[in-house]
Structure 1
């Protein structure tokens, strides 16, 4: 099959090192299709990231459930369910994926299921309300989250089989940048619409649009040139899962990565509390939703390419620096609000803090994803991804209770606790070995 010239030229431009044509850690047959696969993965992931933004539980889904008068106790479950539900079953999912020579089709199926699940959430938002709407949204969110688990394991394995080392971090960085531009536009549109009276119908159609992103992503991903890979295991998923979890005991480097990643959750878990602080001191005007989406997208545009290039040199350093930024920000915010009461009502404070947090969280995500892909090859990579995500899923369920605890202790107190854990996460990341 003849490769497209423009993809080769653009690939060389984006990866302008002397070894731009090297194919470290992938099969020789896959090497010739690297430029094509590079952009197919980029476009596919860009669409899903836009879909994620327009149905984000920390912002959009919280706003939507509030509009339909869903109970507060159900709203508090959406973040941990969405995140942990995609991680918990991955160790079993991996046993199935290991039997497949080509694993892109697992991603395609998972992406289609996510599209239908988000569409169902939009339907529940549009045609139901109250407790019924809340439970329907939670139910479809569980289906979405489980489907996301299929894509999470398969995508990392396909990335490792089709894109060489030293190129994966930049690919992720460029993907986040492109999607960040689209998110920026979405945030501006939401801000404009909110000032003109956005209602539940508008937010429902926003969710419908988000669902189409996963469907388009599945179509694009199907065109990736993936060659057959090694297969093993999968005869007994639970038996295989139990055996696989033992690598946490036997592999010291992997165990230390799990500990570091657990502590790095602070950058993700603190995000909704920054939104809550803004709502507490500035009010719950609809334009705030668009503003937070806007600054988060801008943070990705500014930081992702830098994080990506740094991750190809040392992904553990990216994890360390990004976590330290997120933790320092949280501590500084708590001190400022406590010591300077007049700042609490400063309009610029919360979007600025959310922007910095977005930069840090982008680095944490990109760093740890690049690190785990570079740690191992073949089926060992699938094991690492599935085991780590399953363990993190359990930890998320435990720490997810922080959302409920926010009604007992102050929001500032929650941010401070998570930030102190993040400092420890930065230290543990610094102690990890280099894998590049």
Structure 2
């Protein structure tokens, strides 16, 4: 829990959607570099997991993969901070983007090994609580950061933000040392785990529960894609433009703090119902936002926008907790790493395709995109009802 909390705080302090985008803009990096920060981070952290899972399943002790990934993320963050201070705008932008790609691939090693290690070190009924509590601690630290920015306690300068990013790097390195102290039982290695095409498609061909899980998770990516389009609804108003950065961070942090532990406990009881509930909440919030956006040309007030963001982030936290706990607790036939890597790789491709929503918003406005995302979330809640109550299995 301590290691996970440190990395979650580091994630928030170097958030590509907010912190790195602001930093690149402040140092004068080209706009197209800012636009591809999030795709690089998301694709880099999901797509390599199948290859990494091959090596993980061949090892009896797997915590070095997580610890190594965390340490590399820390060093990449330190490099990002140094580049922002020492290099001119365009050069710094390219270096930061490259280091973000390194950070994302290292994150993939952590993600590929985490659920497998969690399943062998923490019993059912407590796994969601571990993740939820760590999420709450991390979100609390990000909230303090957002409050300091909003109150001008922390100056919004390139130097101060770079120091914060360097601190995030130290958190990742510290988490690596903490995780190495974990008492991990030896796993049964699979030296022949080559994950050829036939092996990769077996879960999709033979496991109906996994197919339903993939479909539900694919529809629930709407919870992750929605926030930028919510912000776009108020984009014509000066008070919800650049100045809204602090409110966005506060809304996101408060939502995580107030809900991560609750969603974690709920998912320990029923990850299926957690996914259904979060999907329904997301559909309602995004549907309301789409309706407000289609009423006329009047901009949405900053408080209404912040409220919508808060509720959307509540739904995101629920979807995140539910899908993680469900995959950990479902029967993966001894191949948790393979199932995790396969599902993450498929979702990574879909997230890249999600860039098309940006074109749709430019052509027809964010209200239409939010309506589509609301429909996806609602469909995810309906499909989630077909999942099994995996927590009822005492294994």
What interval of TM-score do these two structures reach, taking the shorter chain for normalisation?
over 0.9
- Contact kept in structure 1, 2:79 and 2:99, CA below 8 Å: yes
Q: Which residue pairs with 1:271 in the alignment?
A: 227
Cα distance change of structure 1 residues 412 and 315 upon mapping to structure 2, 3 Å threshold: same
Q: Map 1:195-274 onto structure 2 (within 5 A).
A: 198-233=156-191, 237=194, 240=196, 243-274=199-230
CA distance in 2, matches of 1:53, 1:428: 31
Q: Which residue pairs with 1:77 in the alignment?
A: 36
Are 1:173 and 2:173 counterparts? no
Q: Which residue pairs with 2:245 in the alignment?
A: 289
Which of residues 422, 427, 436 is equivalent to 2:377?
422
- Contact kept in structure 1, 2:49 and 2:108, CA below 8 Å: yes
Which of residues 312, 329, 342 is equivalent to 1:357?
312
Q: Which residue pairs with 1:20 in the alignment?
A: none
CA distance in 1, matches of 2:97, 2:357: 19
Q: Which residue pairs with 1:299 in the alignment?
A: 255
CA distance in 2, matches of 1:117, 1:399: 26
- Contact kept in structure 1, 2:233 and 2:293, CA below 8 Å: no
Structure 1, unmatched stretches of 5+, are 1-41
TM-score, length of structure 1 as denominator length? 0.84
For residues 352-409 of structure 1, the C-alpha deviation after alignment (integer angstroms, 9 at most, x for no partner) is: 1111111111100000000000013674211211110111111111113323543333
- Contact kept in structure 2, 1:101 and 1:229, CA below 8 Å: yes
Cα distance change of structure 1 residues 333 and 147 upon mapping to structure 2, 3 Å threshold: same
CA distance in 2, matches of 1:214, 1:82: 16
CA distance in 1, matches of 2:88, 2:357: 26
- Contact kept in structure 2, 1:58 and 1:271, CA below 8 Å: no
For residues 16-61 of structure 1, the C-alpha deviation after alignment (integer angstroms, 9 at most, x for no partner) is: xxxxxxxxxxxxxxxxxxxxxxxxxx11111111111111111112
CA distance in 1, matches of 2:166, 2:235: 26
| Aligned residue pairs, count | 391
CA distance in 1, matches of 2:355, 2:241: 26
Cα distance change of structure 1 residues 136 and 172 upon mapping to structure 2, 3 Å threshold: same
Are 1:55 and 2:14 counterparts? yes
Shift, 1:340, TM fit: 5.9
- Contact kept in structure 2, 1:331 and 1:416, CA below 8 Å: yes
TM-score, length of structure 2 as denominator length? 0.93
Cα distance change of structure 1 residues 132 and 278 upon mapping to structure 2, 3 Å threshold: farther
Cα distance change of structure 1 residues 432 and 378 upon mapping to structure 2, 3 Å threshold: closer
CA distance in 1, matches of 2:111, 2:94: 25
- Is the partner of 2:2 in helix, strand or coil? helix
CA distance in 1, matches of 2:102, 2:192: 23
Q: Which residue pairs with 1:384 in the alignment?
A: 339
Shift, 1:411, TM fit: 2.2
Shift, 1:135, TM fit: 2.1
- Is the partner of 2:16 in helix, strand or coil? coil
Structure 2, unmatched stretches of 5+, are none
Q: Which residue pairs with 2:54 in the alignment?
A: 95
- Contact kept in structure 1, 2:149 and 2:155, CA below 8 Å: no
- Contact kept in structure 2, 1:91 and 1:386, CA below 8 Å: yes
CA distance in 2, matches of 1:70, 1:280: 24
Shift, 1:149, TM fit: 0.6
CA distance in 2, matches of 1:64, 1:242: 45
Deviates more, 1:386-395 or 1:274-283: 274-283
Are 1:127 and 2:86 counterparts? yes
Shift, 1:431, TM fit: 1.6
CA distance in 2, matches of 1:319, 1:202: 39
Q: Map 1:313-328 onto structure 2 (within 5 A).
A: 313-328=269-284
CA distance in 2, matches of 1:422, 1:229: 37
Shift, 1:286, TM fit: 5.8
